[in-house]
Amino acid sequence: MRRSGFPWGFSVGVVVAAIVAVIISLIPGSVFIDPVGYVLLLVAVVVAGPPTVWMLRAVAATRKVEPISAVVGGMSGALIFDGLALSYVPGLYGQTGDALTAVATMLLVAFAAIGISAYLLGALNPQPDQVDA
């Protein structure tokens, strides 16, 4: 049985969440308020779900750690980062008022998309070498 990939995934999740926060801060607030612009942002975060899972699995393979825990760790790291940042440093996202609320909702959709992608891609299923005999 391989070592847990949670620490690696968690670290990657925090770093990716920080990068995404900076990217979000560059998007004009009006895009989050405009219904069409916001739908396009939601589509973008849903489409980003599978590549995120693939990236976390690649990290696990590179580090030779257990992939399920790496995926869960990545989701956990991003959730904790965004939860704390939205609570204590909301200016990090460069938005205020309704736009900041839309950012928080978009991030929830992104986390759901990652979880659903992980499930559909089989990233949450034990591999044959991980199943107890």
Whether 1 shows a pLDDT value over 70: the answer reads no
pLDDT band at 130 (very low <50, low <70, confident <90, very high): low
Contacts of 131 (CB under 8 A, 6+ apart): none
pLDDT category, 126, cuts 50, 70, 90? confident
CA dist 75 and 44 (Å) reads 17
- The model's pLDDT over 11-56, given as tens digits with 9 standing for 90+, comes to 999 999 999 999 999 999 999 999 999 999 999 999 999 999 999 9
List Cβ neighbours of 90 (8 Å cut-off, separation of 6 or more).
96, 100
